[in-house]
Structure 1
Amino acid sequence: MLKKTFAALALGTALLSAGQAMAAEYKIDKEGQHAFVDWKISHLGYSFIHGTFKDFDGNFTWDSAKPEASKISVDLKTASLWSNHAERDKHIASADFLDVKKYPEAKFVSTSVKSTGDKTADVTGDLTMHGVTKPVTFKATFNGEGKDPWGGERAGFNATTTLNLNDFGIKGPGATSQTLDLDISVEGVKQK
């Protein structure tokens, strides 16, 4: 009887460990600068202004055998915006647009992941920006995973979406500037 109990405990522990080992935790590699939150917006309908947010952090869980169980959370410092033009950056950061003094952070927390192909998925979640929270869906692509040269393990993704600025209480600078394209690229370092 004691042997059967130990065998059952050992099997249960092994199954539980295996289940826990499948979904791994990753920290977005902000320190190594292998992560980007880039944006693009129309300028008067004649060209596009491109920029990035330099300061953000986050993590995700990932299991290639069960991508639907994945989760992601990202916190972004809105004052870290950069568009290669200091005066424009001040204007975008002002109360006219992002109002970074009043709303210093933006946050995305996933609520679902739906596979759409072999390496693609729709990642839906709540985006909080400018004091407003709205559901947003990103089109995500899994780039790959594996060991890195420093003894760690990594997984990488790209994701894109288009935001309607009015949904977040932000008035674009003109009729052609009411939507903002986001292009996110991240590498995550597996946590031990």
Structure 2
Amino acid sequence: MNKLLLNTAVSAALVLSASAVNAAEYVIDTKGAHAFVNFKIKHLGYSWLHGRFNTFDGEFNYDAEKPNASQIMVNIDTTSLDSNHAERDKHLRGKDFLNVGKYPTATFKSTNITFNNDDSGKVTGDFTLHGVTKSITFEIDKIGEGQDPWGGYRVGFEGETSLKLSDYGINYNLGPASTHVDIGLFIEGIRK
């Protein structure tokens, strides 16, 4: 009887450790500049203003066999906002918009990930910006995965969503065409 219990316990431990091995952990490749957090917002309804956050980091776990068990966490340094125009960046970092002196970090932490059979899906999570946390959803696509030339293993995703600025206490009047900002998250992860 003791031998049966021991064999059952060992078998259960092997199954659990095999599951843990399959759920690989990845660090977002910001050092190699293979990840981006971009934004765009309409300028007066006539064109688009594009920008990005130059400094951010994050981690995620992913298993192609169980993609819906994935999780992601991203930290964004809001002081690194870059719209390719120094004076505009100063204004966007100021009290009218991001108020980076008071809120130097934005974060996203997933609460649910659902993939379809075609490697597209949705990631829902808590996004904190300007001191306000709200649940948002990114439409996502898996770009690909595999070995890299340096002996590592990588996987890449992209996702986009639209945020209403006033939901985050940003009420500066940019006109009726500029009430929302589109956020794009383009990540390549290196397996740890």
Structure-2-length-normalised TM-score: 0.94
Tell me if 1:108 matches 2:133. no
Mapped partners of 2:110, 2:137: distance in 1: 9
After TM superposition, list the pairs within 5 Å mapping 1:129-144 onto structure 2: 129-144=129-144
Equivalent residue, structure 1, for 2:175:
174
After TM superposition, list the pairs within 5 Å mapping 1:17-166 onto structure 2: 17-166=17-166
Deviations 1:68-108 (A, max 9, x none): 10100000000101011111100111101111111100000
> Per the alignment, in what secondary structure is the counterpart of residue 166 of structure 2?
helix
Deviations 1:84-136 (A, max 9, x none): 11111001111011111111000000000122342011100000000000000
Mapped partners of 1:175, 1:116: distance in 2: 35
Mapped partners of 2:128, 2:115: distance in 1: 24
The count of aligned residue pairs is: 191
> Aligned letter for 1:189?
I
Deviations 1:22-67 (A, max 9, x none): 2111000011111000110011111110000000000001011111
Instruction: Compute the displacement of 1:20 (Å).
Output: 0.8
> Per the alignment, in what secondary structure is the counterpart of residue 8 of structure 2?
helix
Return 56-65 or 13-22, whichever deviates more: 13-22
> Per the alignment, in what secondary structure is the counterpart of residue 20 of structure 2?
helix
Instruction: Compute the displacement of 1:11 (Å).
Output: 2.3
Mapped partners of 2:5, 2:97: distance in 1: 65
> Per the alignment, in what secondary structure is the counterpart of residue 91 of structure 2?
helix
Mapped partners of 2:138, 2:169: distance in 1: 20
Mapped partners of 1:66, 1:82: distance in 2: 36
Mapped partners of 1:9, 1:95: distance in 2: 59
Gaps of 5+ in 1: none
Deviations 1:137-162 (A, max 9, x none): 00010111111111111110000000
> Per the alignment, in what secondary structure is the counterpart of residue 18 of structure 2?
helix
Instruction: Compute the displacement of 1:174 (Å).
Output: 2.0
Identity %: 50
Mapped partners of 1:35, 1:110: distance in 2: 18
> Aligned letter for 1:102?
K
Tell me if 1:11 matches 2:8. no
Mapped partners of 1:6, 1:148: distance in 2: 41
